[in-house]
Amino acid sequence: MQFSSRTRTAAVALAALALAGGLTACGSSAKSSASGGSTGSSAPAVSGTVTVFAAASLQDTFTDLGKKFEAAHPGTTVKFNFGGSSALAQSIVSGAPADVFAAASPATMKTVTDAKDNAGDPKVFVRNTLEIAVPQGNPKHIASLKDLAAPGVKVALCAQQVPCGAAAITALKAGSVDLKPVSLEQDVKSALTKVELGEVDASIVYQTDVKAAGGKVAGVNFPEAAQAINDYPMADLAKAPNAAGAKAFVQYVESPEGIAVLTAAGFQPPAAASSPAPSAS
């Protein structure tokens, strides 16, 4: 079959239009795919090491959450520095590289937020209550805060500048108990270890620490603890080396899955006000 030159020209034009349309569609598809399409997010990809400074009382739960976060974000590694909140805060202010700070009190968080450009917007994510830790069997028969001041009873407390120590002092004042501890520890885990090793007869720690001890110690509740509940604020740091990782970790801890892990360990949900108010240290 013979085609006229006019017919051949029209066919070529139609083919060119079809090819151009296909290239445009492919380009649009590629652009949509690159930007995430309709399900895309403007959030930057999360990778690398996320360095978290956290109160010693968060060690067990945060270690668990760190593993879950790494599984949810392949290519990330969470590195923790656990210790007394006051010491961690001073390290951050002095320039220690950290992405996230989770403190055991608003007062220690305030040390960081008061330093220019050191912290973002802290938010209380859990609360914690004090409890008396005693050896299994409670050989000194401690049943109240006043029993800690009985002759022959050796007690370890956290140092006053540490949140658990500040809370213990508040509770002791509320109960009008004059107590002279035989040891002042720099974090709550150290105070608990004194009981586990039998070096003291009791220590005032958090309920979560007694629970985490897994039967190595017993816990004694006391009513004055209700007047010394600690709020735990957390913030991604303004000078975070891994800003995207910091925000992602904070969001993960504050997610329903993260809060479920924390409450299962004995932490309490935050009060209605989510922003920490300054408190005495």
User: How many of the other CB atoms lie within 10 Å of CB of 254?
Assistant: 17
The series of mean pLDDT values per 10 residues for the chain, 281 residues long, is 43 41 39 34 75 97 98 97 96 95 96 84 96 97 97 97 96 96 96 97 97 95 96 95 97 96 95 44 35
Rounded to whole angstroms, the Cα distance separating 199 from 187 reads 16
Rounded to whole angstroms, the Cα distance separating 67 from 215 reads 25
Amino acid letter at 72?
A: A
Ordered structural domains, the chain, with CATH: 48-127+232-264 (3.40.190.10), 130-227 (3.40.190.10)
Q: Which residue has the tokens 């950290």?
A: 98
Q: Which pLDDT does position 10 carry in this prediction?
A: 41
* Ramachandran angles phi, psi of 58, nearest 5°: -95, 0
Strand-pair category, 100-102 with 230-236 = antiparallel
62-88 core/surface letters (b: 16 or more CB in 10 A; e: else) = beebbeebeeebeebebebebbbbbbb
- The H-assigned helical ranges of 35-180 are 59-72, 85-93, 106-113, 163-174
Q: Which pLDDT does position 12 carry in this prediction?
A: 39
- The H-assigned helical ranges of the chain are 5-34, 59-72, 85-93, 106-113, 163-174, 188-196, 207-212, 243-253, 256-264
Rounded to whole angstroms, the Cα distance separating 97 from 93 reads 10
> Please, are residues 52 and 59 in contact by the beta-carbon 8 Å criterion?
no
Query: Residues 48, 61, 91, 275: is their CA dihedral positive or negative?
Result: positive
For 233, residues 6+ apart whose C-beta sits below 8 A from its C-beta are 102, 103, 105, 106, 109, 122, 123, 124, 125, 276
Q: Which pLDDT does position 119 carry in this prediction?
A: 75
